[in-house]
Amino acid sequence: MPHFSNTADANPLIWLDTLCCPANDGWGKQKAIEKIRLVYRNAKHVLVLEAGLMAYDAESQDVSEQITRVFTSSWMRRLWTLQEGALAQSLYFQFSDRAVSLADLGNSIMKESKRSMRHRVILMDFLKEFLGVASFFSSYNNTPPTLSLLDDSLKHRGVSVLTDEPLCIGTLMSLDLAAILAVAPKENRMQKFWDLIAAKQGGIPSQIIFFEEQRLKASGYGWAPQSFLEMERGIHDLHSRMVRWNDPRLAPITPKGLRVRYPGYVITGIDDYRDLRPRNPLPGFQRISESYSKWPHSFPQAPSICQIV
């Protein structure tokens, strides 16, 4: 994806990721990734070159078809491209005959939706996808991006190298990329991501302990999902996870794990059944299951602290 620097049009500077960012690990690649946020942010234009889009001309397509092709393109399936689109001041998509800006697509579909039900349906899809890209750094959004927004924006994206995920989402969440890049081995980068998120937001939403996805293997991080890109594999849908991400109870990370606080009850065993039967009818069994428990009609709540490791 080319990025045109904000210089005089007579002598434009062009950044092409595959050429300007070193492919091999080392000081050059690390510095390029650390500064790549500035490249996207300061570029005058960002142009998407995607083979599927460039196979069709824009002139013969209705705006609804152009939007559909853009938001079903391979550009929408890669994680690296999300930060490019989110940071861009001016985003264009190259078709075979001309480049079309995302802003122009939005203005056109807004205009057409006022007189066509077909375009009105596409408008809702456009707005959802647009907000998933633009909400991270947009000037109209005064609140910092949330884990809920990040989760929703990543649900159909992926990376070729798994250890690149913390770098991409670190950029989107405005975290310290140098701190993430400094982690060795690379497989521990996600652990650093959770540390930085907790420090920035004052903790981690407590309901993360109920997620079903694979967790980190590091000691004290058994509560932390290994990836945002595997969230669809859980039994809960996106709407359910959105509620969990928005849990106002923030839990701190401690050396022993995530410290969450929930209300609970203290249940005591029944010592005397008063039926004159033996206390252990199954000699040799170490644990006896209770057939029933007596509960009062009202349950006084008591705070309970749970350490998740």
Answer yes or no: do 173 and 242 share one domain.
Answer: yes
Domain stops at, among 134, 161, 193: 134
Q: In a structure prediction context, what are the per-residue pLDDT tens digits for the chain, which is 309 residues long?
A: 665 555 556 678 888 888 888 888 888 888 888 888 888 888 888 999 999 999 999 999 999 999 999 999 999 889 988 988 888 888 999 999 999 999 999 999 999 999 888 899 889 888 888 888 888 876 555 677 889 889 888 888 889 888 999 999 999 999 999 999 999 999 999 999 999 999 999 999 999 998 888 899 999 999 999 998 866 555 556 566 777 888 899 999 999 999 999 887 776 655 666 677 766 666 666 655 555 445 554 455 555 556 555
Do 102 and 190 belong together in one domain? no
CA angle 155, 109, 140 (to 5 degrees): 65
Which of 86, 108, 134 is where one domain is finished?
134
Does 111 share its domain with 158? no
pLDDT in tens, 50-81: 999 999 999 999 999 999 999 999 998 899 88
* 57 plus 170 within the same structural domain: no
pLDDT at 9: 63
**Cβ atoms 213, 233 nearer than 8 A:** yes
Q: Is residue 289 part of a domain?
A: no
Residues 57 and 173 in one domain: no
Q: How many domains does the chain have?
A: 2
Query: What tokens does 298 get?
Result: 């009202």
Would 159 be classed as within a structural domain? yes
Q: Give alpha helix (H) positions in 115-201.
A: 117-134, 147-153, 165-172, 177-181, 189-201
In a domain, 219, yes or no: yes
Residue 122: give the domain boundaries. 2-134
Angle, helices 79-87 vs 27-42, to 10°: value is: 40
d(CA 118, CA 102): 20
What residues contact residue 204 under an 8 Å CB cut-off, 6+ apart?
194, 197, 198, 223, 224, 250, 251, 252, 253, 258
Specify the residue for token string 């579909």. Answer: 109
Chain Cα centroid distance, residue 131: 14
Residue 207 near residue 148 (C-beta atoms within 8 A): no
Are 162 and 56 in a shared domain? no
Instruction: Identify the pLDDT of residue 188.
Output: 94
pTM over 0.85: no
Domain boundary among 105, 134, 163: 134
How far apart are the C-alpha atoms of 172 and 146, rounded to whole Å? 10
Does residue 62 lie within any of the structural domains? yes
